[in-house]
Copies of this chain bind each other. A is one copy, B any other.
Amino acid sequence: MILSAHDIRDMALGAAILGAGGGGDPYIGMLMAIQAVEKGRKVELLDPDSADDSDFIVPVAMMGTPTVLIEKIPGGDEVIWVLRSIEKYYGREANYITQIEAGGVNSMIPIVAAAYTGKPLLNGDGMGRAFPELQMVTFHLIGVKATPMVLSDERGNSVVLDTIDNFWAERIARAITIKFGGSAYIAIYAMSGKDYKRGVVRYTPSVAMEIGRAIREAKRRGVNVFDAILDIVKGVILFRGKIIDVARFNLGGFARGEVTIEGFDDYRNSRMVVKFQNENLVAIRDGNVVATTPDIISILDIESAKPITTERLRYGLRVAVVGIPCDSKWRTEEGIRTVGPRYFGYDVDYVPIEVRIRGV
């Protein structure tokens, strides 16, 4: 399918909900992508199986703290530049562009690249959500290398990085991103069509669009937007309340912190604390863990269901916290070791959200 401006708006909104508080603001992302589509060519979204085994697939994205991203609204030239640089380094042209994660900005960056280069976008990503570190990608789980990767900033500085493993890629790319001022454009996990089809989380872009469209439809028809969303993603409401505290600090290139929400409606006399590192990672209700990474914890405006990214959380916002099951690729032993709560330093086992919810 060819993406319309409506589709892009829907996708930015839905992807930000799947982004679990990370992956960038949907409004900024949408502006970038719609501008690119208006100036550039049409963007075609194709099934992952369109890629031949020998094709060359390049994911593009931004990395860094979203707090910085807000202040440096990106143009589009930089995305083309990283794509061209990695093509030059590999000595071959990309056949397809793809998303590495869901999120308001990171679902859109590949659309910008696709619009300006005329290359089709594949209907999948490497997470089905957003995560803070470079090795937290389903392609990593099947042994695809994050490097050679390209990083560049908006000034024209650029780096080609080639590391012995994906943890080294994370470590070094993070240090460079900090020196770039907090965010970088990247081309990463450039891979064969064969690896892509084996590792991809399928249809994340179209699920995001579906979510956005459902919200739009529900508003138009005056029905409950949350019912519309939760039905698509098999999610649940974890909490409803007002934000009474946000503690945050930028450390090592990440926006870390926690938000405290005081319940109302069914949740009166209850409190929820959500801990985040770019993305929301653990939701605790009255001292009990009710959801953890890799399941998706998203904080949405209680009226409009607009996702509130972690950098936008602030005192007084009235929110609903939703929980959404993650892709099954994350629920393997290796998946949990890579992105489970213990990796992030929380002393709690991963229990699928469907199971946790039953017990609450």
Interface residues of A in 126-141 (CB under 8 A from B): none
Cα-based distance from A179 to B171 in the complex (angstroms):
7
Chain B hits for A155, CB < 8 A: 164, 168
A302 CB within 8 Å of chain B:
no
A359 CB within 8 Å of chain B:
no
Other-chain contact of A159, B159, B178, B179 (Cβ < 8 Å): B159
Chain B hits for A176, CB < 8 A: 172, 175-176
- Taking a contact as CB atoms under 8 Å apart, the answer to whether A160 and B160 are in contact is yes
- Nearest CB of chain B from residue A181's CB, rounded to whole Å: 11
A222 CB within 8 Å of chain B:
no
Other-chain contact of A168, B157, B163, B168 (Cβ < 8 Å): B157
Interface bits A148-192 vs B (CB < 8 Å: 1, else 0): 000000011111111110001001100110111000000000000
Q: Is the interface of A mostly helix, strand, loop or mixed?
A: mixed
Nearest opposing residue in chain B for A163, CB measure: B157
Other-chain contact of A179, B157, B172, B180 (Cβ < 8 Å): B172
Nearest opposing residue in chain B for A171, CB measure: B179
Chain B hits for A180, CB < 8 A: 172
Chain B hits for A159, CB < 8 A: 159-162, 172
- Nearest CB of chain B from residue A80's CB, rounded to whole Å: 16
Footprint of B on A, CB under 8 Å? 155-164, 168, 171-172, 175-176, 178-180
8 nearest CB pairs, A to B = A160-B160, A175-B175, A157-B163, A156-B164, A175-B179, A158-B162, A172-B179, A159-B161
Given contacts A155-B164, A158-B161, A171-B179, 12 further A-B contacts (CB under 8 A): A155-B168, A156-B164, A157-B162, A159-B159, A159-B160, A159-B161, A159-B162, A160-B160, A172-B176, A172-B179, A172-B180, A175-B179
